[in-house]
Amino acid sequence: MHAKYLIAGALAALMVSGTAQAHRQWMLPSSTTLSGTESWVTVDAAVSNDLFYFEHVPMRTDNIAVTQPDGSPGKIENAATGKYRSTFDVHLTQAGTYRIASVSTAVMGSYTLNGEVKRLPRGITKDNMAAAIPAGATNVQTSEATNRNEIFLTLGAPTTTIFKPTGVGIEMVPVTHPNDLVSGESATFQFLLDGKPADGLKITVIPGGIRYRDALGQQDLVTDKDGKLSINWPQPGMFWLNASIGGRREGSEDAGPPQRRASYVTTLEVLAP
Partner 1 sequence: MHHGYKLILGSGAALGAATIPASAQTLNVSVTIPRLPVAEYHRPYVAIWLEKEGSSPRTLSVWYDVDKAKGEGAKWLRDIRQWWRVSGRSMTLPADGITGATRAPGEQKVAFTAGKGPLGRLTPGNYTLVVEAAREVGGRELLRLPFSWPAKPGATLRAKGSTELGAVSLSVGK
Q: CB under 8 A: which stretch of 2-10, 11-19, 36-44, 80-88 binds partner 1?
A: 36-44
Full 3-state SS string of 63-108: CEEEECCCCCEECCEEEEECCCCEEEEEEECCCEEEEEEEEEEEEE
180 lies in the binding site for partner 1 (CB under 8 A) = yes
137 interacts with partner 1 by CB under 8 A: no
Binding test (CB under 8 A) with partner 1, winner from 84, 156, 234, 259: 156
* Only segment of 29-37, 41-49, 82-90, 221-229 that touches partner 1 (CB under 8 A): 29-37
Contact status: 50 vs partner 1 (CB under 8 A)? no
30 binds partner 1 per the rule CB under 8 A: no
Q: How far is CA 74 from the centre of its chain?
A: 19
- Helix (H) or strand (E) run with residue 262 in it: strand 261-271
Q: Which is nearer to partner 1, 35 or 252 (CB)?
A: 35
Q: Does 237 bind partner 1 (CB under 8 A)?
A: no
Residue 162 in the binding site for partner 1 (CB under 8 A): no
158 contacts partner 1 (rule: CB under 8 A): yes
168 belongs to the binding site for partner 1 (CB under 8 A): no
Of 12, 182, 209, 219, the residue at the interface with partner 1 (CB under 8 A) is 182
Contacting residue, 3, 135, 215, 272, with partner 1 by CB under 8 A:
272
CB of 273 to partner 1, least distance (A): 7
Taking the complex as a whole, the smallest distance from the CB of residue 98 to partner 1 amounts, in Å, to 14
Close Cβ partners of 129 (under 8 Å, ≥ 6 residues apart) = 107, 109, 120, 142
- Chain center to CA of 89: 18
Q: What is the DSSP string of 91-151?
A: EE-SSEEEEEEEEEEEEEEEEEETTEEEEPPTT--TTTHHHHS-TT-EEEEEEEEEEEEEE
Least CB distance to partner 1 at residue 6 (A): 39
**CA quadruple 23, 232, 244, 11: dihedral positive or negative?**
negative
